[in-house]
A and B are shown apart, each in its own frame.
Chain A
Amino acid sequence: MSRLPELEQELVATAARLSNTPRRFERRARALIPALALACLVAAALVASGLFDADEAGVHRGGARAAASGGFPADATLEDMLGVFRRPQTAADDMGIKKDQMNEIPDRQPGEDFTKSRRVEWPGVRIFLWPMRDGVCYGVPGGSGCPPLDALRRTGVSIGGGSGPEGHSLYGVVVDGIREVVLTAKDGPELRVPVRENFFYADLKDARVDRVRWRYAGQDQSSSTDGFFPEETEPPPPDPNASFKAIPGSFSTPVRFTAAGKSYGADRLAEQPAELFAAGGTWTGRMQYTGFARASARPLPTTGQAT
């Protein structure tokens, strides 16, 4: 510990701001140029074809908002977002699983690599992080999870929770720049949990948490995790009015179909794979999903037998 920990903390927070600002700007600029060009072309084509309506225009604005909230561009890698993977690996980071043992793990995720693990120094708790393809996995006492990088790019935080005989615990992966997670209950005090090496862990015993916020250095950003330990319920059905964003290159071949005796053609089927995101990966009761396939259809002139 330093003699002036307040000064150390402020210097590190300032360094975090410096590390985020220029790189984020440069990356966004690099990522935005082709994306904007593509978006303009696609928008022009879609508007000209009359296939997408005003609601769908709102979809793209929504997508942009979501990307901005996480603060990382779409091409940000694990190392770009999580500083713990940029530091050298030490003997203390070894989880004890050798490369030739990895295939024996029954529920191993695609690309999951235990040999590249990092141990998070947390008093009294063994916490490890390790990479997987397009994601990061973690293990804490009584729980584990593998949030996708895409979720971290967009939201900056992946929250998980577990229950055991000792009570609840709340934990998660956070991206660079977030230095504190604040847990609050409607009728309880605020619990401030410091972030260490892109991770936070709170042993809540039987305390309830209604809201989780996280603080970037110099900023405050709130999540919408009201009622974090709800009763287990069925996942909600997909919202047909929910927004979606077409993935470039995912347009299907033209589709023809008949409904109520009338022929239709869907020239472009915009599709987004369902995003199945479990908070922490082990908490099926908290699973939420968004995303669905949707087609813009237009009537076809009758040219013969409909199929």
Chain B
Amino acid sequence: MSEEQTTEQDEELFAPSDPQAAATVTSLREQFGDDLEQVSEHRGEVTIVVRPESIIRICRALREDTQQYDFLADITAVDWREREPRFDVVYHLLSLETRAVLRLKVRVGDEEETTSDPELPTVTAIWPAANFFEREIFDLFGIRFSGHPNMTRILMPSDWVGYPLRKDYPLTGIHLPDPHWGGQVPLQQALPMGTGQQTLRTSDRIQEAPQAGGPGSWSEKKQR
């Protein structure tokens, strides 16, 4: 993942060492010359950084044309926090025919990412397997995939606020006195980014504890 170690070179000159990957890169360059931002290779793994506008066309070409990348192994995302396009969305492709693997990266989130979620077109029409991957990325990173059939949370509770895998999300939330278990509290308005749902609590939860043997305990003494 660290981009410093890649053998990134001038993209017109650089060709991957693997002949299959080199053929892929050559054919992509012929079709989408300017849409490829960077081609790099690290430890024999080829990574192509593409523009967000062309991700659909490139994926469709990779799936349907000569390369036959018919297996979407994974989609994930990286939060680079201080970088200007803040997020990387990473697609891992595999060709079952030729055993070739390829990694695509898209950089998104260049506008004020604290108030609006970055958006990217979905690839579910090309690989149906992208459905759950994209929902997971939306759930944990807050990157929306436009055109997705069901863009809802998949891991966190449906009324959770915030995106836990962003770097500015508090890992444990703010410490609050007991009783507090981090349940889902309905919210009237959205919270600022970085405020976990677990940090919320309603003030009416603290009540007097029932006495031992009093009402509510199983050893409650009944009047005869």
Chain B associates with chain A: no
**Which A residues contact B (CB, under 8 angstroms)?**
none
**Which B residues contact A (CB, under 8 angstroms)?**
none
